[in-house]
A and B are shown apart, each in its own frame.
Chain A
Amino acid sequence: MELCLFLGCNTPAIRPDVERAIRASMPELGVDLSDAEGYVCCPAFGAFPSTDDDSYLASSGWNLSIAEAKGLDIMVQCGSCYSSLRMGRDHLAHDETKLARVNELLELTGRKLECKTKVRHVSEILYNEVGAQKISQTIKKSLEGLHGVVQYPCHTLFPSEIVGFEESPRQPKALRILTEALGATVDTYSRELQCCGGAGGFSKSTPVEATAFVKSKLDAIIEETQADFIVVSCITCLMYLDNIQKKLNEAEGTDKYHIPVFDYNQLLALCMGFDPKQVASICTVPRNSVIDRI
């Protein structure tokens, strides 16, 4: 199948190794990717969706129209991009007035939107289209012997009727099954469904409390599991959980927090034999402890 890759901004700008992992791994599984040339910000919830519907939905419409012109569905890795695009599309698909207004705006740019394109998350593609079986058959190396924990991107879960794809949105399992398909043992823990806390204004406006919030999650991982790594499927979760550990160590004067964090496609690409220097090179917490064991 072919999908239109929507990269967002953090992935290509800050964590391009994740982009590389996606571009490397997906075609191996029969998912060809086509770039969304001239895409703009998803738009981020803190931007146009917080100012007015016109600018919000016009930006969504802009992006959707790029894929629609190609006749492709959109695939996204970033949770926020996924949720923003999908909610934007939902507004447009269910409200003719809004769609008409967006088309009015798009018309100025020579674009048109029928809202045919669907917005899909990379983990959903892997889970529903590719399937765990194909993944485990395709990989050349395995995570056997390694324990991991999963961080579900909230944006792919709630509200389930708009963004969800899990059979049981309050008991998600896709990422777990995908990770198990790589041979890893996935441990559960009490705060598995707790948000990383990295998105929105929370971590910026009240950093002390936000740090305590994520600390409770990391402590639970350390105390309750044998996790060698955390696997995510959202750029915000990845960057936040990776970077915050160093800050926590500095604040507490310890080195207690050193669990490597991977995007799922990074682990997938590693298991497919791609070069770690290309697909998993950018991180704050060193990943050698895991990469060396694959």
Chain B
Amino acid sequence: MDFSESDKDLWKAIYNTKDLLHCFNCSTCLSGCPASHGNPPLLVRNLARMVVYGLEDDLLDDDTAWACVSCSRCEEMCPMDVKPFEMILSIRKWQSANDETRVPPSIVEIYKRGYTQSVGTNTELRESLGLPELQTITKMPEMLKLYQEMLMKTPVVSENDYMFSEE
């Protein structure tokens, strides 16, 4: 492994907490992780190690953080309280910030209609089940606009504003 390119302060950019540094590689997080069954497996411990070492290139290329099912078992079981799930989210954030192709498309959906799904449009079905019409934000353009304006002040939206422009 080429270590000369490693950035010893990378952890501060990714997951700036001493929680991470407490990790002693015990592997508890791996043992019960659902996504560790994947191919390639999500190896939480290894990701933590890569962050500590500051292996920037390897980390940027690594997709496995996105396989996490967010069950937080690792968080519950980690004896050193590294808060591995928070670390996974932090890696994703760092990847999104440093590689726009990592920005999840779902946030565009949320920006545009408030949800990842088309909520409240299945009126017929809902009626057949005896359900009322849903007051979704999609149906409240004024409010949606306020939400969008707010999001526009956040880094991911402002820095990638081209993704959110109306066609």
Q: Do chains A and B touch in the complex (CB under 8 A)?
A: yes
Q: Which residues of A contact B (CB under 8 A)?
A: 7, 9-10, 12-14, 16-17, 19-20, 23, 35, 37-41, 43-55, 58-59, 62, 80, 83, 105-106, 108-110, 154-155, 157-160, 163, 169-170, 194-195, 197-202, 205-206, 208-210, 212-213, 277-279, 281
| Complex Cα gap A9–B82 (Å) | 31
Interface residue ranges of B141-167 to A (CB < 8 Å)? 143, 146-147, 149-151, 153-157
B binding-site residues for A, Cβ under 8 Å: 34-35, 37-40, 42, 63, 66-73, 75-76, 83, 85, 89, 92-93, 96-97, 103-104, 106-107, 110, 114-122, 125-126, 129-131, 134-137, 140, 143, 146-147, 149-151, 153-157
> Once the chains are docked, how many angstroms separate the CA of A170 from the CA of B150?
39
CA distance A13 to B125 in the complex (A): 10
Min CB gap A282→B, angstroms: 8
Instruction: Evaluate whether A205 and B67 lie within 8 angstroms (CB atoms) in the complex, with A105-B153, A195-B73 already known.
Output: yes
Cβ–Cβ < 8 Å partners of A35 in chain B: 134-135
Q: Is the CB of A83 within 8 A of B107?
A: no
Name 7 extra pairs, CB < 8 A, besides A13-B119, A52-B97, A55-B107: A39-B136, A44-B116, A154-B72, A160-B76, A198-B69, A200-B68, A202-B35
User: 11 A–B contact pairs at CB < 8 A?
Assistant: A13-B120, A35-B135, A40-B110, A40-B137, A40-B147, A48-B107, A55-B154, A62-B150, A154-B72, A201-B67, A279-B129
Cα separation A61 to B97 with both chains bound (whole Å): 22
A12 to B73, CA, bound (A): 28
Contacts of B71 in A (CB 8 A): 154-155, 158, 195, 199
Taking a contact as CB atoms under 8 Å apart, the answer to whether B126 and A16 are in contact is: yes
From B104, B115, B129, B153, give the contact of A20 (CB < 8 A).
B129
Q: A41-B110, A41-B116, A199-B69 are in contact. Are A16 and B150 (CB under 8 A)?
A: no
Q: Which residue of B lies closest to A24 (CB)?
A: B130
B66 near A205 with CB under 8 A, answer yes
Chain A: minimal CB distance from B12 (Å) = 15
Contacts of A39 in B (CB 8 A): 114, 136-137
List of 5 A-B pairs having minimum Cβ-Cβ separation, nearest first? A154-B71, A50-B92, A158-B76, A206-B38, A54-B154
